[in-house]
Amino acid sequence: MRGGVAVVLSSPTDARSLLAVASELRARGIAVQVFVLGGPGSDAVRALARAAGPEPPVIGKDASLDATRLLRATHPVVVVIGADCLYFTARLIEAARKEGIRTVLVQEAANEIVPLLEVRKPLTALLRQPARAWFRIRTQLANRDAFSLFALAAPTLFGRVRQVHGYGFGDVDVFCVATERVGEAYRARGARARRIVATGIPELVPTIALQRVEYDYLLLTQPFDVGGFAPHGWKQAFFRNLVRLLRAVSPRARILCKVHPTEREDEYEDLGVTDFSNDLATAIARSDVVVSVHSAALCAAIANGRPAIAYVPPALCANTENMIVAEMSRLGLLVSEDEAFAALLRRLTHDRSSVWDPAAARAAFGLCLDARAAQRVADLVETEISIAAASLGGRSVPIPSF
């Protein structure tokens, strides 16, 4: 693949976006090699990649986790990666910089834009999630970064709070973000991208053919806990409480649950919902109101005309600033306590027009909904290819603006 583009997928969300970009680049005659970052959720990512093209190598299984070794084996001129795996993303960008390879980072639907996050007992939290912990440890050791493993564990040993940066992507050449407002937030927090360009997020919002409503609510789970490190079982208890509140407002409510791709239904076997679904588009199409934390699927619901509510607990809200939280707050669809959640549910039931404006909701996500985000990102990747070629010949290259 010498001279082509390497696209690295790390989550189901950024996989949809980056596969759309890869397809656009291939349509333009550009050689593209897709890789899947192994670890939790990688089976879902591989399934998406297989549906879009050849079977992709899995870094950490079929190929090495070492970022430098990957680049030297494939010799791309540009690397395109999502922003949903902070540690490996930063290592890959750093390795690309050393190898003289251009980098394009594409915003994952809801990644954090906070400059600093305080976490407690990080080692304990990682050990509660052995698959994630083992993948993180293997990744750091493969990149000869044993020191940060100690930095992760030391605060736990001494009972101290550890601070981590929300923006940890490194000196990327181009950072493609969802909206101008998100771009401004990253600039204000010192994002180390040479250029931050508002392109929208490719394939963030599928077009959904709405069907007859069969469920009053769709509940979307997420693999989160407060500040990243809540007590064991806290997440399941949080969603059980949401179901309790939904039934308090609508005792006969039919509640559909869609479990996050990195989770299992049996984690929520005592949730008390009516049914489970494994297809997001169908679940949204058949449900009246969508409820989650800060899932990107809330955007899909809103864009397709379904009201949505983001319930972000106070501790998480205080430590979280991302596109979903910011836009849901502006739309008046963000709550952080039980009473406000119940009040919003009642208004959606009895006086929907007072809190739900479909046109304003669609406008909030602007560039993400015009179906041209993949083309805009591909234009920027092509420009980076030209810059790489021009650096050898001393020519200047015009940079696209949107």
Mean pLDDT over 120-138 rounds to 53
215-364 maps to which CATH number?
3.40.50.2000
The DSSP letter of residue 252 is T
pLDDT value at 253 more than 70 = yes
DSSP 139-182: HHHHTT-HHHHHHHHHHHHHT--EEE-S----S-SEEEES-HHH
Q: Which one, of 186, 177, 224, 163, lies nearest residue 82 by Cα?
A: 177
The Cα–Cα gap between 111 and 132 comes to 18
241 within 8 A of 221, measured Cβ to Cβ: no
pLDDT value at 157 more than 60 = no
308-311 vs 334-335, strand pairing mode: parallel
5-116+166-203+370-393 maps to which CATH number?
3.40.50.2000
The Cα–Cα gap between 2 and 25 comes to 16
Element (H, E) at 361: helix 358-364
162-164 vs 117-119, strand pairing mode: antiparallel
Tokens describing residue 29:
């005659």
Per the prediction, the chain carries an average pLDDT of: 80
326 within 8 A of 181, measured Cβ to Cβ: yes
| pLDDT given at position 116 | 46
52 within 8 A of 46, measured Cβ to Cβ: no
CATH 3.40.50.2000 intervals, the chain: 5-116+166-203+370-393, 215-364
pTM: 0.74
pLDDT value at 120 more than 90 = no
The Cα–Cα gap between 201 and 15 comes to 11
Neighbours of 51 (CB within 10 A): 8
Which of 148-162, 331-345, 370-384 is least confident? 148-162
Element (H, E) at 341: helix 338-350
| pLDDT given at position 226 | 53
